[in-house]
Amino acid sequence: MSWTRKDLLDLQSLTAEEIQTVLETARAFKAVGERVIKKVPALHGKTVVNLFVEPSTRTRTSFQLAAQRLSADIINFTAEASSLKKGETLKDTARNLEALNADFIVIRHSAAGAPHFLARVLQAHVVNAGDGAHEHPTQGLLDLFTMLEKKGRLAGLQVTILGDILYSRVARSNIWGLQKLGAQVTLCGPPTLVPRSFAELGCRVTHVLEEAIEAADVINLLRIQHERQRKSMFPSLGEYTSLFGINRQRLAAAKPDVLIMHPGPINRGVEVDSEVADGEQSVILEQVTNGLAIRMAALFLLNGGKAPQPAPAG
């Protein structure tokens, strides 16, 4: 149950046991967030750099709070402000941050593999906060954590991921993590965004919403990214909503205790109605709270912290 990796880059390369170690450690840190004093001294004197070359307020803020609550110092280093605009390479930027004694580099980048590249050239711990359409491992872990907390198990759980699977790093991290821990994954959305080839990863693929939700224990909705979606792939928002948008009426065909999840921010009225997003099946805000616990756990373990004794869950 001990953690030996220098970096957290993806869920594809983690073992089921390593994933469980993070989940169990996060459970302990979630309790910290409920205390009056929400800080522990674990990373006192350490420096965490948020290197966000692609904008993100939520994930950056979550990592910042995680670092603060572990008593680390934190530097936000965004692309707009950075020397990357002056033609400096990512490698030079990262090496300079390491030369400033950075202990952790949390990186978000539009290029898949950028965190893996940094992990090879740096001695600092590298945490992938989202790389292109590849992976977003802390999002995957917080999704697993939330499902486990709410459903009591991951093995045998029926999880449907709905939306733009093709370009989603959230979907990929979910797929790897869920399958390693024994859940069964169904992917659903328009054929252009959910190619049959995903079946090779062991997922069930369907383009019919009813088939995707009837047996689901969890429906994980992906954000429709207006700003990024290619036109040729994606006819119109109205058409997407009419075919795949989740509302109360459609949810009547699902199990009564189905969990509704979403990585946020929500497009209300597009991929999900407000009635459902704010309803009692929704755990969207708990995902946010759990994300903080997962990120504290990740930084803590990478720093050499010891995982708590495993509970008999999983």
Interface ranges with a second copy (CB under 8 A): 33, 35-39, 44-47, 55, 57-58, 61-62, 64-65, 68-69, 73, 75, 77, 81-83, 86-89, 92-93, 95-101, 226-227, 264-268, 285-286, 288-289, 292
Q: Nearest distance from residue 254's CB to a second copy, in Å?
A: 23
Residues in the chain: 314
Q: Nearest distance from residue 281's CB to a second copy, in Å?
A: 17
Query: Which residues in 189-309 belong to E strands, given as ranges?
Result: 204-206, 218-221, 259-261
Report in angstroms the alpha-carbon separations of 312 from 74, 241, 298. Answer: 35, 41, 21
Q: Nearest distance from residue 96's CB to a second copy, in Å?
A: 5
Residue 159, phi then psi, degrees to nearest 5: -115, 125
Nearer of residues 138 and 179 to a second copy, judged by Cβ: 138
CB 293 within 8 A of CB 30: yes
Q: Nearest distance from residue 76's CB to a second copy, in Å?
A: 9
Residue 238 CA to chain centroid, in angstroms?
27
Nearer of residues 47 and 158 to a second copy, judged by Cβ: 47
| Neighbour tally for 126: CB within 10 Å | 25
Nearer of residues 123 and 197 to a second copy, judged by Cβ: 123
Q: Nearest distance from residue 86's CB to a second copy, in Å?
A: 6
CA nearest to 160, candidates 112, 218, 82: 218
Q: Which amino acid appears at position 256 of this protein?
A: P
In sequence order, the 6+-apart residues with CB closer than 8 A to the CB of 249 are none
Nearer of residues 91 and 196 to a second copy, judged by Cβ: 91
Nearer of residues 13 and 78 to a second copy, judged by Cβ: 78
